[in-house]
């Protein structure tokens, strides 16, 4: 990533963030839910992953779209996700949540997105309750 891209003067970051916002809209999430700080940290995580593993430049755009999908699930919650996009979308979201909340789970890109949504208070009540239950069960174990 060049210095111009990092500062937002290059087109790579701008293009990735526009794609991210478009994916949020497609996922029935108003981009206003996601502040600039969230956008930039997600972008940073995706570019760090790309650099760490020597991935091709299209990786960034895919990861930004995937991040928007995870945020969509977090914001909408499982019930609304299923009513809008069907049971397959709900299942994909539940799988991401299960991996993110696994006590021995790795700090994956998706897990970071889930935790970011929870920390920023944009997650649906169903998601927040699910996390509270998982934390309670871990404390009891």
pLDDT tens readout for residues 14-27: 899 999 999 999 99
pLDDT value for 89: 95
The model's pTM: 0.85
**Residue with the two structure tokens 């755009």:** 61
Burial status of residue 37 (CB atoms within 10 A of its CB: 0-12, 13-18, 19 or more): exposed
Tokens of 44: 């940073």
Reported confidence tier of residue 78, pLDDT bands at 50, 70, 90: very high
CB atoms within 10 A of CB 10: 14
- 106-131, pLDDT tens digit by residue? 788 998 999 999 999 999 999 988 87
pLDDT value for 138: 65
CB atoms within 10 A of CB 79: 11
pLDDT value for 102: 80
pLDDT value for 140: 61
State the Cα angle at 16 between 59 and 11, rounded to 5°. 115
pLDDT value for 2: 55
Query: What distances in angstroms separate CA 36 from CA 39, 41, 55, 138, one per listed residue?
Result: 5, 9, 25, 33
Reported confidence tier of residue 4, pLDDT bands at 50, 70, 90: low
């Amino acid at each position: 990533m060049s210095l111009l891209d990092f500062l937002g003067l290059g087109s790579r970051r701008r293009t990735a963030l526009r794609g991210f916002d478009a994916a949020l809209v497609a996922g029935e999430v108003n981009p206003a839910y996601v502040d600039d700080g969230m956008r930039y940290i997600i972008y940073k995580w995706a570019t760090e992953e790309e650099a760490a593993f020597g991935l091709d430049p299209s990786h960034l755009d895919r990861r930004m779209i995937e991040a928007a999908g995870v945020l969509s699930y977090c914001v909408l919650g499982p019930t609304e996700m299923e009513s809008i996009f069907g049971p397959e979308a709900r299942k994909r979201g539940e799988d991401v949540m299960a991996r993110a909340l696994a006590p021995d789970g790795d700090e994956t890109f998706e897990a970071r997105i889930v935790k970011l949504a929870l920390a920023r208070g944009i997650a649906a009540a169903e998601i927040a309750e699910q996390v509270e239950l998982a934390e309670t069960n871990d404390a009891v174990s």
